[in-house]
Amino acid sequence: MGKLLIVGTVAFDAIETPFGKTDKILGGAATFIGLAASQFKVDSGLISVVGGDFPNEYLEMLADRNIDISGVEVIKEGKTFFWSGKYDYNLNTRETLATDLNVLADFNPVVPDNYMDCDFLMLGNLHPSVQMAVINQIPNRPKLVVLDTMNFWMDNTLDELMEVLPKIDVITINDEEARQLSGEYSLVKAAQKIHKMGPQYVVIKKGENGALLFNNGDVFFAPALPLEEIFDPTGAGDTFAGGFIGYLASTHDVSFENMKRAVIYGSNFASFCVERFGTERMIDLDQEEIQKRLGQFKQLTQFEIELTH
Angle (deg, nearest 10), helices 236-251 and 256-273 = 140
Q: Which stretch binds a second copy (CB under 8 A): 22-30, 96-104, 116-124, 226-234?
A: 226-234
Any contact of residue 92 with a second copy (CB under 8 A)?
Answer: no
- Whichever of 10 and 187 has its CB closer to a second copy, that residue is 187
How far apart, in whole angstroms, are the C-alpha atoms of residue 221 and residue 167? 25
Site string for a second copy, 11-40 (x = CB under 8 A): -------x----------------------
For residues 34 and 62, the answer to whether their CB atoms sit within 8 Å is: yes
Q: Which stretch binds a second copy (CB under 8 A): 50-58, 146-154, 233-241, 288-296?
A: 288-296
Sort 171 into a burial class: Cβ within 10 Å, 0-12 / 13-18 / 19+. Answer: buried
| Of the candidates 205, 296, 189, 197, the residue with the CA atom closest to the CA atom of residue 243 | 205
Any contact of residue 186 with a second copy (CB under 8 A)?
Answer: yes
Of 98, 155, 185, 217, the one binding a second copy (CB under 8 A) is 185
Of 122, 135, 222, 254, the one binding a second copy (CB under 8 A) is 222
Size of interface with a second copy, in residues (CB under 8 A): 41
CA distances from 231 to 30, 135, 178 (A): 21, 36, 26
Any contact of residue 300 with a second copy (CB under 8 A)?
Answer: yes
List all residues 6 or more positions away from 21 whose beta carbon is below 8 Å from its beta carbon: 15
For residues 270 and 236, the answer to whether their CB atoms sit within 8 Å is: yes
- Whichever of 72 and 191 has its CB closer to a second copy, that residue is 191
Q: Which stretch binds a second copy (CB under 8 A): 78-86, 104-112, 193-201, 216-224?
A: 216-224
Of 139, 183, 217, 295, the one binding a second copy (CB under 8 A) is 295
- Whichever of 129 and 301 has its CB closer to a second copy, that residue is 301
Phi, psi of 94 (to 5 degrees): -145, 155
